């Protein structure tokens, strides 16, 4: 731990430690080396969020590396939350990348298993999974707190990362999900970002369990929100995205808004959710995943009354 009592000193950590309701965003790197496009996307988020998740070949589609895109963000004065999946790299590459991104000024990282490559645009590739997300969390914690690699050799200047993990309260078997979250926190997760939430009753129940088990005392839980752009998007997510729980009533609500008004209805629902999360016991913030909708984030943040973002020294 550093002198100021912070594990990493990232802005996200400071905001959460100070007790503010955190608000994070997301930015998928381009399918190419188009730096201007990347900048255009993340500029929408400047000043509107505490950190920006940078996805790592999300849905197993090859893109500019999350490390490079995160570094570009740092260079442009925006704090990234560097995502790393276990699908594409073995432990040597992963530890090397943790050191690499830390040396480039990255201070948050999200440790994930990663979608299976079968979903992506190179289903022929080998799937690595040398370690899994639980072991990745433990690995980054060991590197930070013990200053050691997996093999126990010393690290010359350990990377001080604020360690994140994902939780999906909507995957099966539901009864085990809270224990899996507990395992990730025990392994070393400092903060959790959940899968997109649409089934509010289930999430309320999940959070109650997390509070009862004392998990919210050990890690910050950020509730995942993805505004629906249309009823069609909702239907697609309900059917095609693994581990996604989209209640029929939400689809009906979007349909009921009529053509041309569905996006607004989707944003309204997201804002209602954010308002509820602000009051929900144990929820430390919101992770807004506005997929290919970065330009709508300022408006959503404004209407959800999460602006201005706190400045914590």
Q: What is the DSSP string of 208-247?
A: HHHHHTTHHHHSEEEEEE---S-HHHHHHHHHHSTT----
Minimum CB–partner distance for residue 137 and another protein (Å): 9
Tell the smallest beta-carbon distance from residue 3 to another protein (Å): 29
Residues 6 or more apart whose Cβ sits within 8 Å of residue 29: 38, 54, 55, 63, 64, 65, 66, 68, 69
C-beta of residue 222 within 8 angstroms of C-beta of residue 278? no
> Measured from the CB of residue 260, what is the shortest distance to another protein in angstroms?
33
Question: Distance (Å, rounded) from C-alpha 98 to C-alpha 104?
Answer: 10
The CB-of-175 to another protein minimum distance in angstroms stands at 6
- State the minimum distance, in angstroms, from the CB of residue 83 to another protein: 14
Judged by beta carbon, residue 185 or residue 283, the one nearer another protein is: 185
Nearer to another protein (CB atom), residue 22 or residue 187: 187
Least Å distance between CB 113 and another protein? 5
Structure tokens at 161: 């990362």
Binding site for another protein (CB under 8 A): 86-87, 91, 113-116, 118-119, 127, 129-135, 138-139, 150, 166-168, 171-173, 175-176, 179-180, 182-183, 186-187, 195, 242-243
Q: Is residue 113 a contact partner of residue 87, using CB atoms and an 8 Å limit?
A: yes
The residue (of 109 and 139) whose beta carbon lies closer to another protein is 139
The least CB distance from residue 120 to another protein, in Å, is 11
Nearer to another protein, 77 or 173 (CB): 173
How far is the C-alpha of 21 from the C-alpha of 50, rounded, in Å? 10
Distance of CA 162 to the CA centre of its chain: 12
Closer to another protein at the Cβ: 13 or 115? 115
User: How does DSSP assign 146-205, residue by residue?
Assistant: I-B-TTSPBPSS---PEEEEEE-TTSSSHHHHHHHHHHHHHHT-SEEEEEEP--HHHHHH
Decide whether 157 or 240 has the Cβ nearer to another protein. 240
Q: What are phi and psi of 81, to 5 degrees?
A: -115, 100
By C-beta, is 180 or 208 nearer to another protein?
Answer: 180
């Amino acid at each position: 731990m550093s002198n100021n009592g912070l594990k990493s000193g990232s802005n996200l950590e400071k905001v959460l430690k100070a007790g503010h309701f955190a608000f994070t965003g997301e930015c998928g790197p381009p399918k190419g080396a188009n730096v201007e496009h990347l900048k255009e996307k993340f500029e929408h988020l400047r000043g509107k969020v505490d950190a920006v998740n940078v996805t790592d070949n999300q849905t197993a589609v090859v893109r500019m590396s999350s490390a490079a895109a995160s570094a570009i963000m740092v260079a442009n004065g925006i704090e990234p939350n560097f995502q790393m999946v276990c699908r594409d790299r073995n432990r040597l590459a992963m530890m090397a990348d943790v050191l690499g991104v830390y040396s480039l000024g990255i201070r948050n990282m999200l440790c994930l298993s990663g979608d299976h490559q079968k979903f992506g645009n190179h289903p022929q590739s080998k799937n690595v999974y040398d370690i899994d997300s639980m072991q990745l969390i433990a690995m980054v914690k060991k590197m930070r707190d013990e200053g050691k690699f997996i093999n126990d050799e010393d690290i010359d200047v350990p990377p001080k990362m604020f360690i994140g993990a994902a939780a999906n309260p909507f995957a099966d078997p539901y009864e085990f999900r809270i224990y899996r979250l507990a395992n990730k926190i025990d392994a070393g997760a400092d903060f959790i970002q959940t899968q997109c939430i649409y089934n509010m009753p289930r999430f309320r129940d999940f959070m109650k369990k997390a509070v009862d088990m004392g998990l919210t005392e050990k890690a910050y839980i950020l509730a995942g929100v993805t505004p629906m752009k249309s009823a069609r998007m909702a239907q697609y997510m309900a059917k095609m995205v693994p581990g996604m729980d989209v209640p029929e009533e939400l689809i009906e609500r979007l349909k009921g808004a009529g053509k041309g008004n569905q996006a607004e209805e989707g944003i309204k629902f997201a804002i209602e959710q954010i308002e509820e999360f602000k009051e929900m016991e144990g929820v430390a913030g919101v992770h807004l995943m506005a997929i290919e909708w970065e330009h709508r984030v300022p408006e959503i943040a404004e209407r959800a009354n999460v602006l201005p973002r706190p400045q914590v020294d």
